Amino acid sequence: MKARKTLIAANWKMHKTVEEAVTFVKDLQERLPFREDRNVMIAPPFTALIAVRSAIRRNDIWLGAQNCHWEDKGPFTGEVSPLMLYDVGCQFAIIGHSERRHIFGETDEMVNRKVKAVLGKGLRPILCVGEKLEEREVGETFNVVSRQLKEGLKGVGRKEADRVVIAYEPVWAIGTGRTAKPYQAQEVHAFIRGMLSELYDNGLASSVQVLYGGSVKPDNVDELMAEPDIDGLLVGGASLEVDSFCRIVSYRV
Ligand code: PEP
């Protein structure tokens, strides 16, 4: 049994109509055995949040959003607020995903505002951090992760930090089919835990879930989940099919 409860999160990105999303959730609930030691979170596109919320019948399956703004309301065309996510029953929001940072230009400061806004509405942020390939190649991995973590959690108190989930997602492994080797992921996860201990305390560092994301597939899930500091996964491509996602959630250690 892992030290912390496992969270396997599905990030569907810009995939699935409402009907496809609901069919997936119904199918998943029929096929997935209930396990005390693990929970699932599904982050569909905004358009399917309400329908997925209504389709969820199990208390081990949670709902999340893929992003949000930091304000509750206002003249921000195209944006969705944490209040709106709370209103439709989201329990989680993925914040600072590398696609948000690198395609849509989100800065550490924006990520930090979002983390605080989401916490303020009682949701749990999944704060994504991770280095680009060129940063890894010049030995910058720990500096980048450290900066993103410190900036992302700036002003987040000890009590609220308890509700934060961290996802280490090396950018070079997202959607590329190139997975970090388990020892490479473990090394960064242990580093993140050390930083949480510095920023807060040992108690918090040992309770916060740190997920790995980046080309997780049925054939690499077991070895990743065997690492002591990998408490779960953020899964993109392989979360789109029930077969592969079920296999991932049913990882064996
Ligand atoms: C992601 O989008 O967070 C992700 C890890 O994607 P993939 O699993 O497709 O690499």
Please say if the pLDDT value at position 156 is more than 80: yes
The two structure tokens encoding residue 166: 């961290």
Indicate the average pLDDT of the chain. 97
Cα(180) to ligand 1 centroid in Å equals: 12
Q: Which atom of ligand 1 is nearest to the CA of 216?
A: 8
Domains held by the chain: number: 1
| Residue 2: pLDDT band with limits 50, 70, 90 | confident
Q: Please indicate, yes or no, if residue 230 is contained in any of the structural domains.
A: yes
As a whole number of angstroms, the distance between CA 124 and CA 91 comes to: 6
99-139 tens-digit pLDDT? 999 999 999 999 999 999 999 999 999 999 999 999 999 99
Catalytic residue flag (residue 134): no
Q: Please indicate, yes or no, if residue 24 is contained in any of the structural domains.
A: yes
pLDDT average, residue stretch 150-168 = 98
In percent, how much of the chain has pLDDT > 70?
100
Q: Please indicate, yes or no, if residue 174 is contained in any of the structural domains.
A: yes
Q: Which atom of ligand 1 is nearest to the CA of 177?
A: 10
Find the Cα–Cα–Cα–Cα dihedral 43, 60, 222, 131, rounded to 10°: 40
Bridge partner list, 125: 93
As a whole number of angstroms, the distance between CA 25 and CA 13 comes to: 16
**Residues 32 and 40 sit within 8 Å (Cβ to Cβ):** yes
Domain that holds residue 180: 6-249
Indicate if ligand 1 lies below 6 Å from the C-beta of 237: yes
- Mapping DSSP onto H, E and C, the string for 79-111 reads CCCHHHHHHCCCCEEEECCHHHHHHCCCCHHHH
Catalytic residue flag (residue 198): no
Indicate if ligand 1 lies below 6 Å from the C-beta of 66: no
* pTM for the full predicted model: 0.97
CATH of the domain at 94: 3.20.20.70
Q: Please indicate, yes or no, if residue 140 is contained in any of the structural domains.
A: yes
Cα(78) to ligand 1 centroid in Å equals: 24
pLDDT of the residue at 38:
96
Indicate if ligand 1 lies below 6 Å from the C-beta of 146: no
Taking each helix axis from N to C terminus, what angle separates 242-249 and 18-31, rounded to the nearest 10 degrees?
40
Q: Please indicate, yes or no, if residue 90 is contained in any of the structural domains.
A: yes
Give the active site residue among 106, 135, 169, 227.
Answer: 169
Cα(99) to ligand 1 centroid in Å equals: 10
Of 216, 217, 248, the one to substitute when testing ligand 1's pocket (max ligand atoms within 8 A of C-beta) is 216
Cα(23) to ligand 1 centroid in Å equals: 21
Q: Please indicate, yes or no, if residue 194 is contained in any of the structural domains.
A: yes
In percent, how much of the chain has pLDDT > 90?
96
Q: Please indicate, yes or no, if residue 1 is contained in any of the structural domains.
A: no
Cα(154) to ligand 1 centroid in Å equals: 26
Q: Please indicate, yes or no, if residue 139 is contained in any of the structural domains.
A: yes
